[in-house]
Structure 1
């Protein structure tokens, strides 16, 4: 069978890949290929709500076949190697497919082995997370049933997928415990390996306001380095300590998809992620390779909100590159939606320069302040927009 060379080949059908393929079709691209083995598509931002009992697991996913546009050729195998010069992609069954341009949207993978003891702690139920849909039900059960003791929630530096939303389970758990009348009996800590809580001062101030109200101890420049039995091992500049905990909520360690480094698409300092120009999303060494979302080395621009901007820009830049026109620039726009409890949410948007941005019809500072309207947007409006607009290339 002859190898098919598509006009544009998209690798990965998560949020970014599926939306890119749909946008390409809507822009008139007549031959779009999509490489994706998974039969189901997960709306990851909803996992935090499912893990806190505020959404149903059935809302999380839909069949991939219902979402891939009819005009797109779907190759239902995983990519194992991308030849960056010929842009020939080898699939797991040994077959090959190619693209005149290739958009890498392989995402990032959870790597529990990178944290000693994490996998075992997850099996025992000591550790939980809202970032892995395999343990969401157990996460809610453990949070719901905790009545006393020490609870530790973690944040860590990049790489991570939707890193800032790890504040959601912390503040929503505190809200639950407050309503149950047991918050005062639980010693809640936030452990973060960075020296500041958030680099945007307005966002940090809003987060701290809610952390203080909930009585959460914030421990900066502190890293979880392992889990042994019911103890978490912590490391700071002054040394290592171990503490007994009843509950440990982890922002998982993440790694790049193996196909990226296997194909030589990473670069110095990218930790295995696609080495792109962060403004154009174009590979630094291979001009017809593009990278978006969690797959690319883009700093904090690893959110669904960031992807909505990136998918539009990468589709436009493929066209501009072919026409010899100046490429559109991506300013690093991202969003940090953090539910703070009481049916409120801080919807903070900012860019690479750490300046606040806004897409809602209010002042940027007013978006940062937790509000009932932003919670309704994040919990109810955006999931509908996602299924009916974003992944279909309409928003």
Structure 2
């Protein structure tokens, strides 16, 4: 995750009496039914950031639907798995990050009815809204690779995509002296698309420093046709892979796993051939998709096989339901799913929602900015920033962030977590 921005000037407090946006306003909520002017589904990066910005803009009736009691800064999980950060640095109690004045509904959403403007929870409660912001994140499909769910967490199989497993990743890396290490990435949109290969570089760098890299075969299996879709950053990663002697297999992914036998099936989609590789360490990233209730609901994009929500790529408004916005990992946008993308999306959602409250058109636009901090060594990182058109969009134009830099590593390890907790989650950055 990457984010850097100046603190915005506080927006003028809007009227809390929304102007109608359509001729079909919802029926008044029954007296027993909770009702909110703005309901945000999801208390992760996107949900908290939007809630904080709405409160800073003066909205009083904002509710947040989120069952978890722990809030994670997930970009640190890669560094935890690489032995460069403690897990405790990545968490905060959810109650501490929810902005003052926001009503916390500690329940899980299970359905949405955008016509009636209601969300149903797992407890059977129906909450009505005037405006809805969808930010529930995505779901990790551990069953999407046969054998992975049963194997992960023991016998040499780990994943930095689960907080409780990131320390196990480091344990496996630290103990390994010889053998075969496999690092995989699934097809389809995943959050932090650079993370599946970052841990391979961190592991190889550790083994190189310990003098055992020559005894370890490192395989990096990626379903994409290149290491990175922006050529200038792909070249930097190719250099890192060569330095470590990593066996890069493009258009290839993990399609099966036999945990007891420590055997991984790697399928080359270019040739259709599948090879069984015996491993001593396997870092696997599960396929990812929208939560099932989203994928099965009326807001899902029919063009997305993963069930992500339809959203105008620039205004982030649902094309069929003008009182609904989507951002973050759940939105079906043609850009990488990162916290840095959310940092740019959140102000657009808030500005366009406030415009709707005032009866004005959605004028704020998101250009697809995203960022992948690509850690390539213990104290080296390439900061890949780009937009919808895959054009580099550097936040530090006076620095060459297309090459490996130590200062960028320190930014990721120490600067960005502070910017996240003290800036983004407070609506300031």
TM range, smaller chain: over 0.9
Contact 1:125 1:138 in 2 (8 A): no
1:380 corresponds in structure 2 to: 414
* TM-score scaled by length of structure 1: 0.96
Deviation at 1:267, TM superposition (A): 2.1
Contact 2:180 2:216 in 1 (8 A): yes
Q: Find the residue that maps to 2:165 and give its secondary structure.
A: helix
Quote the Cα distance in structure 2 between the aligned partners of 1:65 and 1:124.
Answer: 32
Quote the Cα distance in structure 2 between the aligned partners of 1:362 and 1:87.
Answer: 47
Find out whether 1:124 has 2:154 as its counterpart.
yes
CA deviations 1:82-126 (Å, max 9, x no partner) are 111122111111112122110000001111011101122214332
1:146 corresponds in structure 2 to: 176
Compare 120-129 and 252-261 and name the one that shifted more: 120-129
Find out whether 1:244 has 2:278 as its counterpart.
yes
1:113 corresponds in structure 2 to: 143
Q: Provide structure 1 residue ranges, at least 5 long, that are not aligned to the other structure.
A: none
Quote the Cα distance in structure 1 between the aligned partners of 2:95 and 2:362.
Answer: 36
Aligned counterpart for 2:265 among listed residues 224, 233, 255: 233
2:77 corresponds in structure 1 to: 47
Quote the Cα distance in structure 2 between the aligned partners of 1:28 and 1:325.
Answer: 20
Compare 192-201 and 149-158 and name the one that shifted more: 149-158
* TM-score scaled by length of structure 2: 0.89
1:181 corresponds in structure 2 to: 211
Compare 321-330 and 215-224 and name the one that shifted more: 321-330
Q: Provide structure 2 residue ranges, at least 5 long, that are not aligned to the other structure.
A: 1-30
Contact 1:111 1:254 in 2 (8 A): yes
Find out whether 1:275 has 2:310 as its counterpart.
yes
2:341 corresponds in structure 1 to: 306
CA deviations 1:162-183 (Å, max 9, x no partner) are 1112222111111110111101
Quote the Cα distance in structure 1 between the aligned partners of 2:153 and 2:77.
Answer: 19
Quote the Cα distance in structure 1 between the aligned partners of 2:139 and 2:94.
Answer: 19
1:156 corresponds in structure 2 to: 186
CA deviations 1:233-289 (Å, max 9, x no partner) are 111232222111111111221121122123321122212111111111111211111
Q: Find the residue that maps to 1:133 and give its secondary structure.
A: coil
2:372 corresponds in structure 1 to: 336
2:393 corresponds in structure 1 to: 357
Quote the Cα distance in structure 2 between the aligned partners of 1:66 and 1:103.
Answer: 21
Quote the Cα distance in structure 2 between the aligned partners of 1:52 and 1:198.
Answer: 21
Quote the Cα distance in structure 1 between the aligned partners of 2:286 and 2:193.
Answer: 9
Quote the Cα distance in structure 1 between the aligned partners of 2:376 and 2:130.
Answer: 46
The 3 A distance-change label for structure 1 pair 326 and 89 is: closer
The 3 A distance-change label for structure 1 pair 21 and 281 is: same
Contact 2:384 2:392 in 1 (8 A): yes
Quote the Cα distance in structure 1 between the aligned partners of 2:254 and 2:378.
Answer: 30
Q: Find the residue that maps to 1:85 and give its secondary structure.
A: coil
| Equivalent residues, number | 393
1:173-212 alignment runs, 5 A limit? 173-212=203-242
1:219 corresponds in structure 2 to: 249
Find out whether 1:324 has 2:354 as its counterpart.
no
Contact 2:77 2:160 in 1 (8 A): yes
Quote the Cα distance in structure 1 between the aligned partners of 2:286 and 2:362.
Answer: 39
Compare 91-100 and 105-114 and name the one that shifted more: 91-100
RCO higher in structure (CA 8 A, sep ≥6): 2
1:71-110 alignment runs, 5 A limit? 71-110=101-140
Contact 1:23 1:392 in 2 (8 A): yes
2:321 corresponds in structure 1 to: 286
Quote the Cα distance in structure 1 between the aligned partners of 2:44 and 2:378.
Answer: 31
